[in-house]
Amino acid sequence: MKTKEEIQKLREEIIDVSLSLLESGLIVRTWGNISAKIDDKHYLITPSGIRYEDLKPDMLPLVSIEDGSYEGEYKPSSEFMVHTAIYKTRNDAEFIVHTHQVYATCVGALGKKRLKAEHKEKKIIFPVADYALPGTKALADNVKSAAAKNSETRSIIMANHGAVCFGHNAEEAVKEAIKLEKAAKKYIFNICKTDASNEILEGFSSKLEEGKIVYLRNDTPERVKLIHQTIYAKRPDVHCIFHNKSEAVMTISRRVNHMRPLLDDFAQIIGTSVRIPTAEGAPLVVKKKINTVFAYNDGAYCLGDTEEDAKSAAIVLDKGCIAHLAVTRFGEGRFISLKDCFKMNRNYRKNYSVLAKSVK
């Protein structure tokens, strides 16, 4: 058992690592989670629904590996069962990072069982754990099976979800996540012929202030203002619009007429099904609970209650568009069932997003 001083240092290290991963883009907002083993029976983990920038060392709950019970004021991350499964299965796991890193997540949507790559002139295989709804025992069991069958790797892709990487310490775990992302990006670029960069590009955004639309750029065209006005009129729950003109989003806006979720966070935050106009001047498709509106050859307008919510939708949409392009060009992929999409979207709106706002 570690001393109180060592445990406190580990709490601080978890927060330092989370902020580092946030800065590097491997995690975004409150998505993903990080844990560290205390002894054979306990580990610390980031709490559910709290932004990494707001974390304090004493906010990290202590979780029992044996029965999942926890000590502390805040609930452990919803994916604590995945962490528990790895700690139970792998002796070389003492620090775990679960990310929604872009390219590894996109590989997880291709329907593959594994990602074969090379690292420092050595062949390496990253297994893909079978799909299951996030936060469930089924997902933890699938990750556990992949970890047990692939003792040569410390990185596991979770189908349609993200990745979980581990090591004896924080440095090893983070290196694993970076190594996996490099391999996945190479695969998406070279094999899937999808070289769209992962970055959002802001066009003409707006927000509501005292019931009036405030355009964030003085040069916002009248045609774009009309789009904003239409969205606000049809979606009274929306108070901010982020106009996303990233490379992947622009490509989708002129080549695709329908997007079904390939990724869990797309189903949760964007919605269960997105329709896209297929010609110049075609009517906008503005639907309740669908947090993006595409305009033909003009990217997408991402919706939120706050500026942060709208930007988060833009980030998730960009990754979802990269995944859609990769699957289309790869010729094979695994879409999430409509039933599962509805479950995740409902759960996110009723629980997770509410929790995230309550602790700001």
CA–CA distance, 322 with 188 (Å, rounded to integer): 9
Domains defined for the chain, CATH in brackets: 4-190 (3.40.225.10), 206-358 (3.40.225.10)
- pLDDT confidence of residue 60: 96
Provide φ and ψ at 41, rounded to 5°: -120, -10
pTM of the full structure = 0.93
pLDDT of 1 reads 66
Residue numbers in the chain where pLDDT is lower than 70: 1, 30, 119, 352-360
Q: Cα–Cα distance between 101 and 225 in angstroms, integer?
A: 34
Closest CA relative to residue 225, chosen from 233, 212, 213: 213
- pLDDT (tens digit, 9 = 90+) per residue, 82-95? 999 999 999 999 99
Residue 313 contacts residue 302 (beta carbons within 8 Å) = yes
pLDDT of residue 358: 47
| The pLDDT value given to residue 196 | 86
**For 178-221, what is each residue's pLDDT tens digit?**
999 999 999 999 999 998 888 899 999 999 999 999 999 999 99
pLDDT at 182: 94
Q: How far apart are CA 161 and CA 29, in angstroms?
A: 16
Distance from C-alpha of 148 to C-alpha of 173, rounded to nearest angstrom: 18
